[in-house]
Amino acid sequence: MTPSVKTYIVGQLAVNAYLVSCPDTSEAFVIDPAGDEDRIAKDIRDAKLTLKYIVNTHGHADHTSGNQKLKTLTGANVIMHPEDDELFRRSDIVQMFRAWGFEPHEPADIHIQDGDEIRIGSCVFKVLHTPGHSPGSVCLLGHGLLFTGDSLFVGAVGRTDLPGGSFNTLISSLKKQIIGLPDQTIVYPGHDYGDSPTSTIAKEKRTNPYITDYCL
């Protein structure tokens, strides 16, 4: 069963949010809501979906700023890796993101670790812990799809100069978790910064300099 994926470009930093649903059961989750929560909630209602989860690929405020509103509108539980859930509610970091116009996220309802599974109906996604962009960054892998957040972009990777970031750790995560995946795996990144909205593992291994120069 192939999940349905709808992409939204949201927020002041143009985050890619994704509505992922199971065609069999109409259960769904949203990845990284950060704007247009009313529109996303309307689409969920119009499609007669049941939103089970709001999943954050990491804790940066540009990816989490819509959590609370979408949770209020839908009743879905928020999922995040505990390292980012804790780090990005620290007072000094909250002040930094507030200076950029973002409010901190509320504590997550569910914590995930590497190897955990997120299920919506008959669709199952495995959690891949990919620290580097942030300590609690994760990717979601299932049904030939890979949602990478800011760990991997089309032709690039996420910045590593924010609190908890590490370039060497990010490269290690790509080596351990990403480049060994099947070549045909479709990459859905956290921002549309490349020459196409999506990619494949094969294309990234051929053309992404952070993979060709540091991983292979």
Residue-wise pLDDT tens digits, 135-184: 999 999 999 999 999 999 999 999 999 999 999 999 999 999 999 999 99
All structural domains of the chain, each given as residue ranges with its CATH number in brackets, are 4-212 (3.60.15.10)
Separation between Cα atoms, residue 85 and residue 150, nearest integer Å: 16
Separation between Cα atoms, residue 210 and residue 192, nearest integer Å: 17
What pLDDT digit, counting tens, does each position of 13-31 carry? 999 999 999 999 999 999 9
Structure-token pair, residue 109: 């309802």
Q: What is the mean pLDDT of the chain?
A: 97
Separation between Cα atoms, residue 113 and residue 47, nearest integer Å: 31
Give the Å distances, CA to CA, from 125 to 27, 28, 85, 167.
Answer: 13, 12, 20, 26
Asked if 44 contacts 23 with a C-beta cutoff of 8 angstroms, the reply is: no
Predicted TM-score (pTM) of the model is 0.97
| Burial per residue of 39-54, b for 16 or more beta-carbon CB atoms within 10 angstroms, e otherwise | ebbebbeeeebbbbbb
Asked if 154 contacts 199 with a C-beta cutoff of 8 angstroms, the reply is: yes
